[in-house]
Structure 1
């Protein structure tokens, strides 16, 4: 990074020095026109568009990973619920109850917290209880399936929480904002002062498109807190199925948690 800054600064100083001292010797006639501002706006606009496109791809990739992780976690929770059918009755009841409570905690506690890039300790209470419920099953056929599904759940949850944090650093975002501002100002400087209705309309449209692109980048870079956000649809469906399996042999009062996935006082 230091090398890039030094080289670019040296090139700028060399260009200014050549413009001031070397150009009069190379040109036999007086030339005061040089490159107009409008000649420099084209490369600036191209740079702005390329930067926006690159950052857009990065932000969209983060959004896609968050969505995939949310679905993968829900599938793992569903697999734990199904694998519990092969466990003895006591462990089966405890595991299925824990999956219901875990899904509720993710949906109601952790999902809103991810809007600010944070997590919640509520789901960890039930994931710990799940692992404790696996211990009596060592040597049983269901043990391997349960452990594998729980490991997958843990990995997908970690990926989901990772993607909740913005992938585009604030410095890059504000650099894009500054670049966009300079570009718009330069474009406004270059339009004619009279009979410029068409140019003004075009400038307004370009400004709106560039600003919208930057807003979209900001939005999709926060997959769980923007306008276009990842909804807890998959984990809600896993919760519904786990609740259905649990209530087939028990009542809702037997669940160790309330509707928000918080442990009941016993």
Structure 2
């Protein structure tokens, strides 16, 4: 984000400097005419529409799928906890306790790691525990329902981690940044040398809008980091409900993990 702002500012200064020192060598030294403010509106609207369209596609794509996956994972985890009510007491307590710890590991450890496009091994410890507990229930009616709920949770987690990585290749981002530099510099060269206050203000506005659009693209492309991010609200609610069911079935039992989802020692 800082890089985009710095490069855009340098491009703006380069355009204004070219207008001051390079333009007199290309045209009549007494020239007071140049691109009028109304002439700048065309490129402004064109670039703005194109970039905003790109932002909408990105937002409805990667961001939307990431949000759906995070909510789907929470629903699958909640279904796993509710289905465990039909299991024997020992397996029920282990599954529900593991669900609480899994949700904590996702909410605290994996969510912060996804801001950089990475995952965390902490939730996998508890998902492995789910399958180990399922083995003791093989042949019972509840076995199939638990496996189906856990498979759904696994699929949604995989989709969430996939959408956490950047969906826009770095080549495309640098191409957009180069386009911004060329556009702003070219518009700066076309400005008149004198009586150009309105044109300079318009160029500054164009630069600010294009820079903001590119920053939004960069920010939305990583749904779990930045300003426009997805909060772990759904998984936190699933954790709360799982902890409620676990405590209701065994008030004196302790969870096998700490507040961050790490296995208790």
TM-score range, shorter chain: 0.7 to 0.9
Q: Which has the higher contact order (CA 8 A, sep 6+)?
A: 2
Q: CA deviation at 1:59?
A: 2.4
TM-score normalised to structure 2 length? 0.80
Structure 2: distance between partners of 1:172 and 1:114: 22
Contact 2:191–2:200 (Cα < 8 Å) also in 1: yes
Q: Which whole-Å CA distance do the structure 1 matches of 2:209 and 2:136 have between them?
A: 60
* SS of equivalent residue, structure 1 residue 137: coil
Contact 2:48–2:209 (8 Å) recurs in 1: no
Counterpart-to-counterpart distance in 2, 1:42 and 1:148: 56
Structure 1 match to 2:210: 210
Compute the displacement of 1:53 (Å). Answer: 3.7
Cross-structure match for 2:19: none
Q: Please give the alpha-carbon distance, in whole angstroms, between the structure 2 residues aligned to 1:42 and 1:189.
A: 16
Name which one, 1 or 2, has greater alpha-carbon Rg: 1
> Runs of 4+ in structure 1 displaced over 2 angstroms?
40-55, 249-253
In the TM superposition, 1:1-266 aligns within 5 A as 48-49=47-48, 51-60=50-59, 61-251=61-251, 254-265=254-265
Unaligned runs of 5+ in 2: 1-33
Q: Could you tell me which residue of structure 1 aligns to residue 9 of structure 2?
A: none
Q: Is the 8 A contact 1:48 1:179 kept in 2?
A: no
C-alpha separation in 2, matches of 1:47 and 1:128: 52
How many corresponding residue pairs?
229
Query: Could you tell me whether the CA contact under 8 Å between 1:51 and 1:176 is conserved in 2?
Result: no
Distance across 2 between alignment mates of 1:251 and 1:169? 51
Contact 2:105 2:261 in 1 (8 A): yes
Within 1, Cα distance between the matches of 2:112 and 2:161? 12
Contact persistence 2:44–2:206 (CA under 8 A): no
For the 8 Å contact 2:258–2:264, the answer to whether it is kept is: yes
| Counterpart in the other structure of 2:14 | none
TM-score calculated relative to the size of structure 1: 0.80
Q: Counterpart of 2:12?
A: none
Q: Distance in 2 between matches of 1:179 and 1:46?
A: 15
The verdict on how the C-alpha distance between 1:77 and 1:45 changes in structure 2, with shifts beyond 3 A counting, is same
Q: Deviations over 1:184-235 (max 9, x none)?
A: 1111111222221111111111111110000001101111111111100000
How big is the shift at 1:48?
4.3
Write the distance in 1 (CA, Å) between the matches of 2:53 and 2:198: 30
Distance in 2 (alpha carbons) for counterparts of 1:143 and 1:113: 33
Residue pair 1:52, 1:176 contacting (<8 A) in 2 also: no
1:114·1:161 contact (CA, 8 Å) conserved in 2? yes
Q: CA RMSD in A?
A: 2.2
Q: CA deviation at 1:52?
A: 2.2
Secondary structure, aligned partner of 1:227: coil
